[in-house]
Structure 1
Amino acid sequence: MSSTPQRNLLLVVFWMAGTLLSFSAIALSIRALHGALTVFEILALRNVGGLIILAAMMVLAPDPSQRIRPAKPFVHAMRNTIHFGGQALWAYGLTVLPLATVFAIEFTTPTWVAIFAVLFLGERMTRSRVAALVFGFLGVLVILRPGFDSFRPEALAVAAAAICFGVQQTTTKFLTTSNSTWTIMLWMNVVQLPLNLAANVVMGEPAWFAGKLDVAQWLPLLGIGVCGFTAHYCLTNAFRHGDAIVVTPIDFLRVPLIGVIGWLVYAEQPEPAVLLGAAIVVSGVLINVYAESRPRT
């Protein structure tokens, strides 16, 4: 009887280790490619990598759930368009802000998920969700410090990205009842690839940017192409094998991990206000996760 929980915990830790490493690799890859490529070119390469991996999965491990035709196509289109905007804002933030700051602000996403779930999925607004909203708002104010000399307007882009990610995760939850993970990820890349290419052209860049690629960039190119896929794949599997109260606290390790990476690679010193704000945001989310995991009487 005791082996099953242990086995599930080991699987959660395994998949979350992949999640943490994947998101960190994405951040480093975007930083490494910035300057040689635009944000939209980097994200387009991420889409191409995802499509290649999904095609390989269909050939090497065919499954009846791998349906090309999606259910609820309008929701797919809305989800992926908003997610496209969020990813562009998040990637921009990685190029102008300390890595720990970007990841700390991003952790307000669960608060937005709770709000959108109430508005669009008919879920209840509980006291714990209100607490997560309040803590998230206070935490972001501490990180951004509006009105102070240390305020960085660029951080507002990451705050907006977190709202977009909240919409994306809420609609993902809605789509999982009628679409497989493979189908959802397929259409995420199919929709976002032309959006990234079109946005790149609007910026005055050529539609065909392969000439910018250099063999010396193979490591960050591999990181953005592969880890852009594995980050979401690993996180999905972690939730499949464990409850949110187990998965979410592990995911919060992204902030100290990326802080250490930023310190070692870029000599970035995490600001005390960022760490304090991140702790406030995490506290609110943990309160909500704990309350949601308790059996209702």
Structure 2
Amino acid sequence: MISASPTTKAIAWMMGALTSFAVMTVSVRELTGEMHAFQMLFIRSAIGILILLPFLQRGGWGQIRLTYLAGHTARNVIHFTGQVLWIFGIGLLPLATVSALEFTSPLWGGLLAVLFLGEKMNRGRWTAFGLGFLGVLVIVRPGFVEVSEGILIMLACAFFFGATGVATKWLTRRESALAIVFMMVVMQTVFGAVASSFVWAPLAWHQTPWLILLAVTGLTAHYSLTRALAAADATFIMPMEFLRLPIVAVVGFLLYQETFEAMTLLGAAIIFSGNYASIRHETRTVVR
């Protein structure tokens, strides 16, 4: 049996991450207006701990170490901040717009990966970044669309998500994906417990399925993303996040009747072509 190449594995894990992130977005939208972001993140992380415990019981506790505690702490402070901004953004903007603005995060992540991780850019990756950035500009149209509070929040969120990707990549060189995700839910349960104590609201039964879905997809999204980053460079993986836009745009149309804009479709096509060029370049390089 021929085993899959690291690039193929990275692409497969990234597709799992993108699907999970899309479902998680719907869960957040359903809870927005009924529950504060801090409370969502606390409950999601607490459920995540319960889900992961059986996996750790089967011989996984040896992976949990305190050697890189500072790195985990830095990653989760950055990530928790980005998630809070992301949830606020989902409540203020259409899903496709949220995703479009969020897609500036791979640009930040790629730049930070080159500066701090010593990764190299190649022609395929430059193409993905260039066309990805162009696609976002086509969708956002700076100077032609009002820069609202939601847009500013999502631009800040994108920077924190980009930095999270780089911190995750740094940790994958030292820790397993299970350890990284477990430390995430533990630390963010603590962060969320403290923050949500100021805004806590009673829970309702109809929120339960969405909270469970939020917790499960939160785990599968970050586990899949971590496995993808462990298999390939961040400068290759992070531009693939641009593919989330057409997925979320379709979800927004089907579930919330958010109409497709021509410029959104054009931008999505430009973004996809950049990702396709990058993947083709990487797979040809591996074959050679």
Q: Which residue matches 1:232?
A: 222
Partner of 2:166: 170
Output the CA distance in 2 between the equivalents of 1:11 and 1:194. Answer: 31
The alpha carbon displacement at 1:290 in A equals 4.6
Contact 1:12 1:241 in 2 (8 A): no
In structure 2, what is the Cα distance between the partners aligned to 1:98 and 1:115? 28
Corresponding residue number in structure 2 for 1:63:
60
Give CA-to-partner distance per residue, 1:250-289, whole Å, 9 cap, x none. Answer: 8655333322221121110122222333333444455455
Query: TM-score, structure 1 length as denominator?
Result: 0.80
1:254 aligned counterpart, secondary structure: helix
Residue 137 of structure 1 deviates from its aligned partner by: 3.7
Distance in 2 between residues matched to 1:76 and 1:249, nearest whole Å? 23
Q: CA deviation at 1:169?
A: 1.2
Counterpart of 1:46?
44
- 1:156 is displaced (CA, Å) by 2.7
Change over 3 Å in CA distance of 1:164–1:283 after alignment to 2: farther
What residue is the counterpart of 2:116 in the other structure? 120
- Superposed displacement of residue 134, structure 1: 4.0
Name the CA shift for 1:285/1:167 in 2 (closer, same or farther; >3 Å): farther
SS in 2 for 1:189: helix
Conserved? CA contact 1:105–1:158, under 8 Å? yes
What is the TM-score with the length of structure 2 in the denominator? 0.82
Distance 1:9 1:135 in 2: 22
Residue in 1 aligned with 2:17? 19
What's the CA shift for 1:48? 1.0
Q: Write the letter of the residue equivalent to 2:179.
A: T
What is the Cα-based RMSD across aligned positions, in Å?
A: 3.5
* 1:224-271 residue CA offsets vs partner (Å, 9 max, x unmatched): 121111122234446678999998898655333322221121110122
Helix, strand or coil: the match of 2:34?
coil
Whole-Å separation in 1 of the counterparts to 2:145 and 2:207: 37
1:83 equivalent to 2:79? Answer yes
Contact 1:244 1:289 in 2 (8 A): no
What residue ranges of structure 1 are gaps of 5+ in the alignment? Answer: none
* TM-fit CA distance, 1:45: 1.4
Q: Does 1:205 align with 2:199?
A: yes
For 2:100, which of 104, 121, 128 is the aligned residue? Answer: 104
Counterpart CA distance in 2 for 1:145 and 1:253 is 19
Q: One-letter code of the match for 1:36?
A: E
- Cα displacement (A) at 1:17: 5.8
Q: Tell me by how many angstroms 1:90 deviates.
A: 1.4
Q: Shift of the alpha carbon at 1:24?
A: 2.2
Distance 1:123 1:10 in 2: 19
Q: Decide which moves more: 25-34 or 233-242.
A: 233-242
